[in-house]
Amino acid sequence: MSDLAALENETLAAIGAASDEAALESVRVGALGKKGAISALLATLGKLPPDERKAHGAAINALKDQVTEALAARRGILKKAALEAQLKREMVDVTLPVRLPAVETGRIHPLSQAMDEIITIFADMGFSVAEGPDIESDDYNFTKLNFPPGHPARDMHDTFFLEPDAHGERKVLRTHTSPVQVRTMLSQKPPIRIICPGRTYRTDFDQTHTPMFHQVEGLVVDESATLANLKWVLEEFCKAFFEVPRVGMRFRPSFFPFTSPSMEVDIQCRRSGGEIRFGEGDDWLEILGCGMVHPNVLTNCGIDPEVYQGFAWGMGADRVAMLKYGLPDLRDFFDADLRWINHYGFKPLEVPTLAGGLSG
């Protein structure tokens, strides 16, 4: 019987030391399995005399029942501990704010939104988009646009010049997207109806100017383009972009080497409490320059000015975005401040359409 007591102590100690259900199952098999220690003792009862068999059988069965109860109790403890660990691991703090899906956390930069809106409006008018390189030749950036060498108008553009190449030519960072108009007129025959969005560069930096900014220029060349057509295009654009039913416009004489006559355009607005509202009020705000394409530009691009004429305009996309969205400082556009983007940015699925609304 001393062996039975030793087996009892050993088995119960192993049950108490089992750290998980797998270890506990190993103890059960070692004690109560077909080849287990307690099962082996039960198998020897048949060889004992009848009087001993009864006493030994009762003791072994009592041990078996005790081990079975201990196994069940330990299994319950282990299951409870496993459940508590799982709950702790998967615990969710319901007092925390819900995490937004990725489509809600990203933001479209206001400038990207403004460019999309501008392109959408002009596309509805039948304009296609033309693009060109940021680094341009002096010929395309100035000469073919009626800027003669040494002309003082070249100084108005505060140009970034690159180092001379092997041929002594100094390329420039384009000061406007007008070279795209030149490239288009050299490669396509009229009629032409394009807009030229893109980055431009000038050595200027303050609250309303940056060394790199964005322009959208437009060009129409055909046999019957007139100032009346130009005025209609710009009026329709301003009404659509600023989302007002009507807009007052004022065309003032100006000078640009590549247009004649040349004009600057002001739109009617009301300034109140740091806010600008368009289509109302008694104030005026300049937004763009325009004019009829100079005959010299048409000639330089291989287009007969006796047959064709055209009109063109150019606006700063950054500037009109500031006006529409109420952004106080142009330099904020380029600071990459996530807080600013989250405040002024647009949701990724707010795609501008004329039917559904440009800016959501």
d(CA 161, CA 173): 7
On the question of a cis peptide bond just before residue 352, with omega within 30 degrees of 0, the verdict is no
Q: Is there a domain that residue 116 lies in?
A: yes
Q: Which residue has the higher pLDDT, 191 or 331?
A: 191
Supply φ then ψ for residue 325, to 5 degrees.
-95, 0
Which tokens sit at 170? 């100094």
Distance CA 21, CA 255 (A): 89
The answer on 268 and 151 residing in a single domain is yes
Residue 355 pLDDT more than 60? no
Domain shared by 155 and 42, yes or no: no
Q: How many helices (H) and strands (E) does the chain have?
A: 12, 11
Contact call for residues 140 and 183 (beta carbons, < 8 A) = yes
Check residue 207 and give its pLDDT. Answer: 61
Cβ atoms of residues 268 and 287 within 8 Å: no
User: Pick the residue with more confidence: 48 or 121?
Assistant: 121
User: What would the pLDDT profile of 262-271 be if each residue is shown by its tens digit?
Assistant: 999 999 888 8
Which of 26-40, 85-99, 236-250, 319-333 has the highest average model confidence (pLDDT)? 236-250
100 is a domain residue: no
Neighbouring CB atoms inside 10 A of 119's CB total: 18
Inside any domain, residue 135: yes
State how far the Cα of 328 lies from the Cα of 207, in Å rounded to an integer. 8
Residue range 66-71: average pLDDT?
Answer: 84
- Percent of the chain, pLDDT > 70? 92
Judgement on whether residues 197 and 255 belong to the same structural domain of the protein: yes
How far apart are alpha carbons 43 and 39 in whole angstroms? 6
The CA-to-CA distance between both ends of the chain, in Å, stands at 88
Same domain (yes/no): 260, 297: yes
Contact 285, 295 (CB under 8 A): no
| Nearest in space to 230 (alpha carbons), one of 215, 258, 256, 249 | 249
pLDDT score recorded for residue 156: 62
Query: For residue 214, what pLDDT is reported?
Result: 92
Higher pLDDT pick, 81 / 229? 229
* H or E, element range at 96: none
For range 15-24, the mean pLDDT: 83
227 in any annotated domain: yes
Cβ atoms within 10 A of the Cβ of 86, count? 10
Same domain, 292 and 324: yes
pLDDT at 11: 81
Q: What pLDDT sits at residue 240?
A: 92
Domain edge (last residue) among 32, 55, 89: 89
- Residue 75 included in any domain: yes
Q: What are phi and psi of 173, to 5 degrees?
A: -80, 120
Does pTM top 0.75 for this prediction? Answer: no
Number of compact structural domains in the chain: 2
**CATH code where residue 134 lies:** 3.30.930.10
Supply the pLDDT for residue 3: 74
More confident site: 3 or 83: 83
Q: What is the mean pLDDT of residues 20-47?
A: 78
> How does residue 308 score in pLDDT terms, banded at 50, 70 and 90?
very high
Q: Is 48 inside a domain boundary?
A: yes
pLDDT for 336 equals 83
Q: Does one domain contain both 206 and 280?
A: yes
Residue 235: pLDDT band with limits 50, 70, 90: very high
- Residue whose entry in the numeric block shows the structure tokens 């000015």: 305
| Cα–Cα distance, 295 to 258 (Å, whole number) | 9
17/112 same-domain check: no
Asked if 204 and 333 sit in the same domain, the reply is yes
Q: Are strands 172-173 and 192-201 parallel, antiparallel or unpaired?
A: unpaired
Please indicate, yes or no, whether residues 150 and 224 belong to a single structural domain of this protein: yes
CB of 202 closer than 8 Å to CB of 160? yes
Question: Does residue 111 register a pLDDT over 80?
Answer: yes
Q: What percentage of the chain carries pLDDT values higher than 90?
A: 38
175-227 pLDDT per residue, tens: 999 999 999 999 999 999 999 999 999 887 666 667 888 999 999 999 999 99
Instruction: Note whether 46 and 145 are same-domain residues.
Output: no
Region 13-34 average pLDDT: 82
How many Cβ atoms are within 10 Å of 305's Cβ, its own excluded?
Answer: 14
pLDDT digits (tens, 9 = 90+) for 267-296: 988 887 767 788 788 888 889 999 999 999
Contact yes or no for 314/177 (Cβ under 8 A): yes
If asked whether residues 66 and 184 sit together in one domain, one would say no
319 half-sphere exposure, CB direction, 13 A CA radius? 16
Residue 353: what pLDDT? 65
- The lowest-confidence range among 148-152, 211-215, 320-324 is 148-152
Determine the pLDDT at residue 176.
93
- Is it the case that residue 51 has pLDDT exceeding 80? no
Burial of 153 (0-12, 13-18, 19+ CB in 10 A): middle
Residue 38 in tokens = 């307690």
Mean pLDDT of 150-179: 82
53 Cβ contact partners less than 8 Å away, ≥ 6 residues apart? 45, 46
- Band of residue 161 on the pLDDT scale cut at 50, 70, 90: confident
The whole domain housing 137 covers: 108-344
The span from the CA of 213 to the CA of 197, in Å, is 11
| Any domain includes 358 | no
Q: Is pLDDT of 1 > 60?
A: no
Same domain, 116 and 61: no
Quick one: pLDDT at residue 139? 92
Strands 135-136 and 160-161: unpaired
Mean pLDDT of the chain: 85
**192 lies in some domain:** yes
Q: What pLDDT is recorded for position 253?
A: 95
